[in-house]
Structure 1
Amino acid sequence: MDTGQFLNRNALKIALAVFVFAVVGMLVAGAGYAYSDSPQFCGSCHSMVEPTASWQESNHKQFKCTECHLPQQNLATKLVVKAQTGMNDTYHEVLRDYPATMVISPKGKAIVNDNCLRCHKSTVETTAMMTSGEDCTKCHRGLVHGTNKSKGGIKVE
């Protein structure tokens, strides 16, 4: 039997197998995406133990880490930044070279600030915050992760 005959006889089976494989792949990818958005995932790294603990004690504990630390404008932008951040974090976690005191990057600070303003727009829309582009974390730095700098980082055992 040649390939053409095999495909003709089994076209429905092959199409069904491809469909099942695609559905299972989408379910696995969706579950992985959802889990990687969870605080349990973010807090599973050694360097994020203390930032996760301080977040659990904050008034923002009902929000996922990614709701503040990733852009929320559209899914494509969120996925790109999530991939970049994830690769960076994995790189430093594997090399065990995070600084003893975790500091947010300027890009990360801009994302967090945008998300603060997105959620709290009605609170600040009549203040100078909206027009001046002032940084929310300038005054509210310790709101979620405590007033002292989070002691994340990697300790060499």
Structure 2
Amino acid sequence: MEWKKYLASNTLKLILLGALAAVVGLAIAGGGIAYADKASFCSSCHSMQHVAATWQVSNHRQFTCGDCHLPQENIVNKMMVKGQTGMHDTYHEFLRDYSDTIPISAKGKSIVNGNCLRCHAYTVGNTFMSTGGQDCLKCHRGMIHNQIVIKEGVPVE
């Protein structure tokens, strides 16, 4: 057969071509994942524009949406949650049935609390918060997204 002869004489070239395709594919996937973590992606939906505007004027604006709202333990868990919440948000964006104040789910609250404590572990180390099971959002709910009211694109304090 002709193709067996072709494979035998071009094996190294085909392996290198496959490796190059894998590297390009991983780079594209990594770029897509990084872009999907940013506020520019998240705020592209109408219902998230106010959320992104309040975040932009907060003292946490240097972090991406995914830094706070996605688990950071490992990439597999992060991508699973990103897929689930992405489908949920797209569904409700399509139906236009989000309320003015988007509620956070119990799972989302757990993820956000874990990320608060991950970044602020030293700060809460000598407080009652260090015992675990505490709710950062109970006292700091409006710290990022409801801290400043946005009217007509201008922050109002």
**CA offset digits 1:36-79 (Å, max 9, x no partner):** 11111111111100000000111111111111111112222112
Q: Which contiguous aligned blocks of 4+ residues in structure 1 show a shift greater than 3 angstroms? A: 147-150
2:126 aligned partner, one-letter code: T
Aligned to 1:26: 26
2:7 aligned partner, one-letter code: L
**CA offset digits 1:122-152 (Å, max 9, x no partner):** 11111111225221111111100115899xx
Deviates more, 1:63-72 or 1:124-133: 124-133
Among the aligned pairs, what percent are the same residue?
A: 55
Instruction: Indicate conservation of the 8 Å contact 2:54/2:147, yes or no.
Output: no
Aligned to 2:15: 15
Aligned to 1:89: 89
Aligned to 2:98: 98
Taking the aligned partners of 1:132 and 1:19, their CA distance within structure 2 comes to 46
Unaligned runs of 5+ in 1: 151-157
- Number of residue pairs the alignment of both structures matches: 150
Q: How does 1:146-157 map to 2 (within 5 A)?
A: 146-147=146-147
Deviates more, 1:38-47 or 1:2-11: 2-11
Aligned to 1:142: 142
**CA offset digits 1:56-110 (Å, max 9, x no partner):** 1111111111111111122221121111111211222223222332111111011
Instruction: Indicate conservation of the 8 Å contact 1:102/1:149, yes or no.
Output: no
Q: How does 1:1-157 map to 2 (within 5 A)?
A: 2-131=2-131, 133-147=133-147
Instruction: Indicate conservation of the 8 Å contact 1:58/1:144, yes or no.
Output: yes
Instruction: Indicate conservation of the 8 Å contact 1:101/1:149, yes or no.
Output: no
Taking the aligned partners of 2:148 and 2:39, their CA distance within structure 1 comes to 21
Higher relative contact order (CA 8 A, sep 6+): 1
Instruction: Indicate conservation of the 8 Å contact 2:71/2:111, yes or no.
Output: yes
Taking the aligned partners of 2:14 and 2:22, their CA distance within structure 1 comes to 12
Deviates more, 1:94-103 or 1:69-78: 94-103
Q: Partner of 1:139: helix, strand, or coil? A: helix
Instruction: Indicate conservation of the 8 Å contact 2:72/2:78, yes or no.
Output: yes
| TM-score normalised by L of structure 2 | 0.86
2:46 aligned partner, one-letter code: H
Indicate the RMSD between aligned Cα atoms, in angstroms: 2.0
- Residues 18 and 62 from structure 1, CA distance in 2 versus in 1: closer, same or farther, beyond 3 angstroms? same
Unaligned runs of 5+ in 2: 151-157
